[in-house]
Amino acid sequence: MLKILVNDGMHSTGQKMLEDANCKVNTNKVAQNELPKELPNYDVIIVRSATKVRKDLIDKCPNLKIIARGGVGLDNIDVDYAKSKGIKVMNTPAASSLAVAELAFGHMFGLARSLYKANREMPSNGSTDFKALKKSYSKGVQLRGKTLGIIGLGRIGRETARIGFALGMKILGVDPFHKNLEMKVNDGYDVSITTVDMETMLQNSDFITLHIPNAGKPVLTKKHFDMMKNGAFLINASRGGTVDEDAMMEALNSGKLAGAGVDVFENEPNPRTDILSHPNVSLSPHIGASTQEAQANIGVELADQILAFMKH
């Protein structure tokens, strides 16, 4: 019988699958500093992005057989070290891709039509300054015909491209591991993603969205913002730290960026207040994969992998 610690939450569907297979599942969160004492009692730990499973913790857990990540990124786990100790590392790369892509477009639509601003102002000023607000927010743009630059063409990047194609956008992809991908849109017609170098993408994109893991340093720095089209929009629903926040704020304040949609932050869970209060930033609190459907898919995908491991 596997003893499983679900430390960052799990959908009830996946939990029931594990319990029906006679696994003992504990969903009570253990604080990070308490894990060295508690985790040695378990065979499996299931985490999201909050819990860190590093070398020092792994060394204290001789019984650990599986580290399972509900989501795509594995930057909170010392993957190679875990594998060197014979520990299986799992994640769910397919389960939440569409949810993240849809959130990215939620920010794009909100920025294109200033919905994020209008929703802030209408409750307080809509009854007294309706005409002024209407005039203020009547200069939006449409996504059809615009160029969407996608940094990272993994599963999430490709889902983002599919939506972009369906909306009539031109797609420019940047990814050293994928070149000129062929794909289907909604199980229909075939399309191809044109891959270009970073500079070409930045110079030609109206909207830019990141779908990459944390690389340990920003992928977009001041020099990259300087290359962008004037009035471009940036979306970051990938990882905090992939964008230099100082450079982003400079670009927003100068008007180089018309707006930014930000779901992830360098200093989570305490984001910079100047980002949170900026009038041209559309905000969400790291909810890319947090839809009911994605969470159910993540739970099922993790349970399937764990149960398959048990059978070997």
The residues carrying an active-site annotation are 239, 268, 286
Q: Are 228 and 208 in contact (CB under 8 A)?
A: yes
| 3-state secondary structure (DSSP) of residue 32 | helix
Own/partner pairs for 47-51, CB < 8 Å, 24+ apart? 47/7, 47/8, 47/76, 47/77, 48/8, 48/9, 49/8, 49/73, 49/76, 49/286, 50/7, 50/8, 50/76, 51/7, 51/8, 51/76
Q: Say which residues have a Cβ less than 8 Å from residue 301's Cβ, sequence separation at least 6.
A: 14, 92, 94, 95
Q: Give the integer Cα–Cα distance in Å for 51 and 56.
A: 14
Listing from the earlier edge strand, what are the strands of the sheet with 194-195? 194-195, 170-174, 147-151, 207-210, 232-236, 257-262, 281-283
- Which two structure tokens, joined as six digits, stand for 41? 């009692």
The answer to whether 242 and 268 have CB atoms below 8 angstroms apart is no
Q: Work out the number of other CB atoms within 10 angstroms of the CB of residue 22.
A: 9
Cβ–Cβ under 8 Å, residues 60 and 39: yes
Of 37, 44, 40, 59, which is closest to residue 7 (Cα–Cα)?
A: 44
Is-cis flag, bond preceding 40, omega within 30? no
Contact yes or no for 282/236 (Cβ under 8 A): no
Q: Is the dihedral of CA 261, 121, 268, 33 positive or negative?
A: negative
Is beta strand 232-236 parallel, antiparallel or unpaired with respect to 170-174? unpaired
